[in-house]
Amino acid sequence: MSQAEREKLEEKFKYLIPMGVFILVILAGVNYGMGMDFFTILIDLLFVVAFIAIFRAFKLDLRENEKKIWQGLITNKHYTVTSNKNSRSAYTYYFYFGDQKRTVSEEVYNQFKEGDLIETHLAKRVWGVYFDAKLLKENAMPETVAEYQNKEEATSKKSSKMGCILFLVFGLLMTLGFLLITDAIDIPVIEEYLQEIFESLE
């Protein structure tokens, strides 16, 4: 890592412990109000494990001064939105590099488009910390982008066809099962039903 990248990681690390203490205070209040039952103890343990894992990731990245660098051709990009009545919407941004899917920050997502060959520098162990993203070549391989998009469309159509086939097979199996059951208990349900239909038409 460069000095600027290290300072960015250290800046984020400074907020980790105060945030952890704040969440622990909230959990303590919940424990006091609800009592120390199994559910609250489980939540406390999960938080402690997650906090230790994040703390360790920061310490290792800072101690070993390492980062990840990966390159890829953006063949597709999209984002998802999750929201509810009590909170604002949360956005998650994705880049596709062929068959590989990566989560990226909003800044990186808006910086590049499909067909760009990019190089991204990010923290090795700490999730979501991006140091830099560079454009290596614009519209590097448009035919490759089109190829993957056509492949995704073909996969989607294939999935739809398989769904229809499974639905028909399920319907046939249900009908066969119904006929076997009515035959086993010796009740001519089908004949009586058809006879009633014919009589109503006369």
Predicted local distance difference test score (pLDDT) of residue 43: 79
pLDDT of 168 > 80? The answer is no
Chain centroid, CA 56 distance in Å: 24
What pLDDT score was predicted for residue 69? Answer: 87
What SS3 state is found at 16? helix
- CA–CA separation, 197 vs 66, rounded Å? 78
112 in the Ramachandran plot: left (φ > 0), alpha (ψ -120 to 50) or beta?
A: beta
Residues facing residue 145 across a β-bridge: none
- Indicate the burial class of 6 (C-beta count within 10 angstroms; 0-12, 13-18, 19 or more): middle
Q: Please report, for the chain, the start and end positions of each structural domain, with discontinuous segments joined by +.
A: 1-65, 67-140, 155-201
The kind and range of the H/E element at 129 are: none
Q: CA-CA distance, 121 to 129, in Å (whole number)? A: 9
Q: Can you list the positions of beta strands (E) in the chain?
A: 67-73, 76-84, 87-97, 100-104, 117-123, 130-137
Phi/psi of residue 127, nearest 5 degrees: -75, 140
In which element (H, E) is residue 201 found?
A: helix 189-201
What's the whole-number mean pLDDT along residues 6-34? Answer: 81
At 12 the pLDDT is: 83
pLDDT band at 141 (very low <50, low <70, confident <90, very high): low
If you average pLDDT over every residue of the chain, what do you get? 76
Q: Would you say the pTM of this structure is higher than 0.85?
A: no
User: What percent of the chain has a predicted confidence (pLDDT) above 90?
Assistant: 1
Position 179 pLDDT exceeds 70: no
Q: How many whole angstroms separate alpha carbon 115 and alpha carbon 143? A: 9
Question: pLDDT per residue over 23-80, tens digit each?
Answer: 878 877 777 776 666 677 777 788 888 888 888 888 888 888 888 888 888 888 989 9
Q: Which of 4-8, 93-97, 175-179 has the highest mean pLDDT?
A: 93-97
* Tens digit of each residue's pLDDT (9 = 90 or more) over 91-124: 889 888 878 888 888 888 898 988 888 888 888 8
pLDDT at 185: 47
- Out of 40-54, 134-148, 154-168, 181-195, pick the least confident: 181-195
> Could you give the count of Cα atoms lying within 13 Å of 169 in the half-sphere of its Cβ?
6
pLDDT score of 75: 86
